[in-house]
Structure 1
Amino acid sequence: MDAETKGLLEEDGLIVAVQVLTEAVRSLGYEWLLNKAKSWLSPSFCQADRKTDIAVASQVESYSVDFGWGRPKKVEMTSIDKTGAFSLWDSRKGDGGFEVNVVLKKHEMEAFASLFVEGLRSINSVSKL
């Protein structure tokens, strides 16, 4: 599945992104991905009862808000370091992109970053098919 930027920016953009990511993961094989992730992440990160929250502000143009002292240069959800949530925001560039924020321990962040880059590469290779 090819996820053109236009499709990601429409009302169902999150659904399109999830479908593309799901297809990319399936192409790698779930077992391979799970084994790879488990070998990189700490046992506490992979607990079965661990809850993950995702905070999305899809209808709020956070970088367009002006409370009288100008538009913000950076928007962050400060609670994610305590809750373990991921947050998604519109891009500060105003180009229709988005920012992903996540807080992890250093070794978990390194593993997450590596998995994230691998995922982007696999999506790129799937979209070229």
Structure 2
Amino acid sequence: MRKISFLFILLFFSLVPQVHADPSCEGRFVNPITDVCWRCIFPLSLGSVQVGKGDLPDTSNPGSPLQLCPAPPPIFVRPGLAIGYWEPMAMTDVSRSPGCMVNLGASVSISARPVWGPRERTTSR
């Protein structure tokens, strides 16, 4: 049984796509502590009350911080807080070489054949 388990594990790891370093792919992994502008989330407001000041304009919020938020059935509504802040929600990776992920500091090999899933048959006519 141990030999069969070892063979399955060996087979699994042989099918996993490997990450190769591309010499033209330069970058480093993003550090969420130092690379994200955390002071940019301000101004922070709870309802119409401003909790933290910032350089950016504040979003328009309802006057009361307590709100009834929509929820899926059978509850339909639930209590919530009206909070306004600037959220860092996306990071875009732009590169000229295929498979290069600058923010991860590596490149991913993109093969012509899929490793898993259906494979297309090519027929010559």
TM-score range, shorter chain: under 0.3
Structure with greater contact order relative to length (CA < 8 Å, sep ≥ 6):
2
Relative to the length of structure 2, the TM-score reads 0.26
Relative to the length of structure 1, the TM-score reads 0.25
Question: More strand by proportion, 1 or 2?
Answer: 2
Structure of higher CA gyration radius: 2
Question: More helix by proportion, 1 or 2?
Answer: 1
